[in-house]
Homo-oligomer: A and B are copies of this chain.
Amino acid sequence: MHTDESIPDVIKQKAMKATHKALCKHGYADLTMKKIADESDRCKSTFHYHYDTKENLLVNFIQYLLEGFEERMIPETDDPLKELNGFIDRMLFGLSDEETTESFHTALLEIRSQAPYNEKFREQITKNDEYILQITTNIIQEGIEKGTFKDTDPKNTAIVLLSAIDGARARQISTDRRATEELRTALDWILDELIVE
């Protein structure tokens, strides 16, 4: 199996973008290497050559989600509350239109639901979760140091926030409720009580 480092960057970018598109279009259960390749200008055998299996390509894709994560998901501002609120919005509502965001969250939930049976998925999802927890803890820690946030426990606050965001994203796509909007409203109130000095 080729490791990620051995894959030319141009191929990697094409593979990752095609995987993203194919996941949004077909979901996880119906995904094939053919369908992924169809979203790029390369053929299936190129992706097989570099990534070997679909499973390995997907593990690389989960890892790829972290590339540029901070730049993409955290707005640049000196105000810790604006930073935290912008981050929460992007985690709940995504960066693209609602339909694309929901299709993508649907595919991610399917991958997550397979992780109990798939050690490689589980390993990479664990790394992603730990990374995102660290980032979120840092935002809160910084807000405390600047005196914008109350002197709370940054890690515990981050755990509750991220768990709630995950849960609401799952409810948004698996129920007919507007779960992400509901959580956003509830968090406004919670942050006001709990965090803002």
Inter-chain contact A160/B183, CB cutoff 8 Å:
yes
Q: Check B112 against A177 for contact (C-beta < 8 Å).
A: no
Beta-carbon contact of A163 and B159 below 8 Å: no
User: In the bound complex, what is the Cα–Cα distance between A157 and B167 (angstroms)?
Assistant: 14
Of the residues B113, B123, B156, B171, contact of A110 by C-beta under 8 Å: B113
Give per-residue flags for A99-140: 1 if the beta carbon is below 8 A from chain B beta carbons, else 0: 000100010011011011100011101100110000000000
* Whole-angstrom CA separation of A156 from B164 in the bound complex: 12
Cβ A152 vs Cβ B193 within 8 A: yes
**CA distance in complex: A170, B170 (Å):** 9
Cβ of A142 within 8 Å of any chain B Cβ, yes or no, is no
Return chain B residues, CB-CB under 8 Å to A173: 115-116
Distance to closest chain B CB from A136 (angstroms): 12
Nearest neighbor of A184 in chain B, beta-carbon distance: B159
Copies in the complex: 2
8 A Cβ contacts from A78-115 to B: 102, 106, 109-110, 112-113, 115
Q: Are A176 and B116 in contact (CB under 8 A)?
A: no
A182 at the interface (CB under 8 A from B): yes
Residue-wise interface mask of A (149-169) relative to B, using a CB-CB cutoff of 8 A (1 in contact, 0 not) = 000110111011011111110
Besides A130-B177, A167-B168, A194-B194, 12 other CB < 8 A contacts?
A: A27-B117, A109-B116, A112-B113, A113-B174, A122-B175, A125-B175, A129-B177, A129-B179, A163-B167, A166-B166, A166-B167, A167-B170
A7 in the interface (beta carbon within 8 A): no
Q: Does A43 contact B (CB under 8 A)?
A: no
CA distance A73 to B179 in the complex (A): 23
Tell which of A123, A155, A163 has the most Cβ of chain B within 10 Å: A163
Please tell me if A185 contacts chain B, counting CB pairs below 8 Å.
yes
A189 CB to nearest chain B CB (Å): 5
A171 and B160 in contact (CB under 8 A), knowing A123-B176, A177-B129, A193-B194?
Answer: no
